[in-house]
Chains A and B, each alone.
Chain A
């Protein structure tokens, strides 16, 4: 009786310890990093996979968007949710596609859940208080698998960041992104 009670308390303590220090995504050296720790006017997470051509093809467009908001206090992060992608492979991907962005590994899907994303590439925008204000496609260039417009007619991510910086609500806060499914990653 007594020992059972003790066990239960211990278990509870265990949970409490876990809850006080929530799991965090990792940087490429394996250190826990909280992308929400430093203040920012807006925070953008873009979820990618090294083996996803749709996501890699977006690199130049993401560079353009990051440059546009460079001096406006927006922090950009690339998130790699595939637990089997090694830091070395991610570093190579960053250099191949000329990303100067900080990159995070998210093997526990902590950021995936917080951003409510389901595919790569998919973007999430958080406002200065850390609330999710947009998640979905970068733009509407990709219409479906194998079906692309020659150029985008709507720039959803760019518009969402701009609205957030102006303190306005994002006109379409959720859009459907086309890409490689994150559900396939354990």
Chain B
């Protein structure tokens, strides 16, 4: 550390010496001419009212009050925060200052922060207050705020958001408003299509702690976008065809990194969703390199290496990259080795700092041909020399998702070349690679099972899924998928066992209940089927499929009860049918007929009248009304 500072100081002196002869002719550095353009462009996006910067840097007065501070933090490149090393990947929104800019700030502060002439000033930056992309189509907030304590270590919290949408929507952009910008260091949004995160909440709406989370899903719909927010970032808007789908009932899990500020602070972020009518036609995918299972870092180890290498099964364009480690991470390196042996740098972070982690988007996509090997080389420092070390004295650290555990992930967003959805090929390669690293891994077995099931190889799928459940016997998504595989292979009774097991673990698991209800209906167990469809409708009143199936089952139950002469039971099914379809005139006529047959003429007359009110031309209802009225008189 000391040595580092010394070298930096020498370098600065050298720069100053080199610059000296020219400086005599050069006019003095002033705020408006030289400093304002740097500040407006690189600092003010965060350092302005209402944003994350602790003080504004938009006027001369603002800057003068922090002149030496600005010089000090830019000199060590703490500000503007930008971790990647120049020359290793060309990223959009690169916030690094040039050496010349840093030198100029230093000269300006040393000269007493001269103001200069306002005539030299570039136009003051114009910022959009609030939502950067304008009013969102939908704003979602967690039910309850979370209160960050006044002091203590950083907090990693997950909020579950449940957007209310009537139909599937395509999301072209999301924007996260952190609520308290100064204490929210970054936020990450994950799509949870099967409510798997809800199981981690003690009470619904509470949220739950954890630095990283795993979302289980039973539809092949792998994450395809980095939904990431960091201070000062403008949310990217996906071009046509690259939007992602949000279905009714999907949850969004917002993972936030919070830093205590010295006083307790309640945080309740909002997420704005921007929809498009242009559906998804391109299918990017996130590839994760990692070897957390091999993270076992002895105390005192100054350079522990974690590596992973993945061979691409097809041509891809890399759109963005996201390296992630916790507090022991030091040098994070990612590169590709092309089939001809050429090495292409993807990213290199020489001094990892979790506080400033981010997603880096390539200015132009990086093409990697089939057969390229993508490599991750992450170095960790578990010694006393690492001030961020969460343990003092250092302790053995293994992989895990708490702040005191360690991680090493290199995520890449890739868009496979070629027409249509190529993600299955990638997914299979990723999972086979994972299985090699972790022969007893749940996720690899499960994903391969789900993948093979889509190819209708039910026997192969059942084998992988059974192996997955051997690792995690109560994993509801795997139970549900195995149920589906068993059903496809003509084993309905075994399938029912799996669906019921999934529902014991997670009673609100709509997909499993749907599968169970359908198979029960197919098996002729209509009452049981209707009960399950009813439960889905109670949770999702807008679910047309469940409603349609419930109507089918009730109609069949009502008619068979009626034909067996069990009129009261039949009337009861019809009463429910009428409640589900109050404006169906024929249905009311049929219900009335049943009521009349059961001897309840007054109620029957009400239904015939209701039918006629909906459809005055309904001849059957009119005749039945006449007959019932006459019968009543008698």
Contacts and interface: CB of A to CB of B under 8 A. Distances in A.
Contacts of A181: 66, 68-69, 72
A155 interface: no
Nearest to B355: A146
Contacts of A82: 65
A37 B387 CA distance: 41
B76 A184 contact: no
Interface in A140-169: 143-151, 153
A31 interface: no
How many of chain B's residues touch chain A, expressed as a range? Answer: 20 to 34
Contacts of B356: 146
Contacts of A98: 263
B64 interface: yes
B261 A53 contact: yes
B600 interface: no
Nearest to A60: B151
B390 interface: yes
A184 B262 CA distance: 24
B70 to A, nearest CB: 9
A52 B182 CA distance: 11
Nearest to B154: A150
A150 B262 CA distance: 15
B353 A148 contact: no
B259 to A, nearest CB: 8
A56 to B, nearest CB: 4
A141 to B, nearest CB: 9
A184 B261 contact: no
A145 B54 contact: no
B425 interface: no
A84 interface: yes
B78 A145 contact: yes
Interface string B362-376: 000000000000000
Given A53-B54, A53-B182, A58-B262, A150 B64 contact: no
A17 interface: no
Interface string A63-105: 0000000000000000000101000000000001110000000
Contact of A149 (B54, B151, B353, B388): B388
A145 B65 contact: no
Contacts of A34: none
Nearest to B387: A143
B248 interface: no
A172 interface: no
Most B-side CB within 10 Å, residue of A60, A97, A143, A148: A60
Given A57-B261, A60-B151, A98-B263, A149 B69 contact: no
A59 interface: yes
Contacts of B392: 149, 151, 153
B327 interface: yes
A90 B79 CA distance: 27
B388 A150 contact: yes
Contacts of B182: 53
Contacts, number: 76
Given A61-B151, A147-B387, A56 B72 contact: no
A59 B260 CA distance: 11
Interface SS of chain B: loop
B154 to A, nearest CB: 8
A118 B356 CA distance: 27
A184 B69 contact: yes
Nearest to B259: A57
B150 A59 contact: yes
Contact of B153 (A53, A59, A151, A184): A151
Contact of A148 (B61, B263, B388): B388
B391 to A, nearest CB: 8
Contact of A84 (B65, B72, B263, B388): B65
Contacts of B150: 59-60
Nearest to A57: B262
A150 B263 contact: no
B67 interface: yes
A153 B69 CA distance: 26
B263 A184 contact: no
Contact of A184 (B66, B355, B387): B66
B68 A56 contact: no
B251 to A, nearest CB: 31
Interface in B45-72: 54-55, 61, 64-69, 72
B66 A59 contact: no
A124 interface: no
A185 interface: yes
B602 interface: no
A150 B153 contact: yes
A115 interface: no
Interface string A97-130: 1100000000000000000000000000000000
B10 interface: no
Given A84-B65, A185-B65, A51 B55 contact: yes
A180 interface: yes
A4 interface: no
B73 interface: yes
Contact of B262 (A97, A146, A151): A97
Contacts of A151: 153, 392
Nearest to A179: B69
B54 A52 contact: yes
Interface in B385-405: 387-390, 392
Nearest to A141: B387
Given A84-B65, A181-B68, A147 B388 contact: yes
B263 A144 contact: no
Given A57-B261, A60-B262, A150-B153, A183 B54 contact: no
Given A60-B262, A143-B387, 11 more contacts: A51-B55, A53-B54, A53-B261, A57-B260, A59-B150, A96-B263, A98-B263, A145-B79, A151-B153, A180-B66, A184-B68
Interface of A: 51-53, 56-61, 82, 84, 96-98, 143-151, 153, 180-181, 183-186
26 contacts: A52-B54, A53-B261, A56-B261, A57-B151, A60-B150, A60-B151, A61-B151, A82-B65, A84-B61, A144-B76, A145-B76, A145-B78, A145-B79, A146-B81, A146-B353, A147-B353, A147-B388, A149-B388, A149-B389, A150-B153, A151-B153, A181-B69, A181-B72, A183-B68, A184-B113, A186-B64
Interface of B: 54-55, 61, 64-69, 72-73, 76, 78-79, 81, 113, 150-151, 153, 182, 260-263, 327, 353, 355-356, 387-390, 392
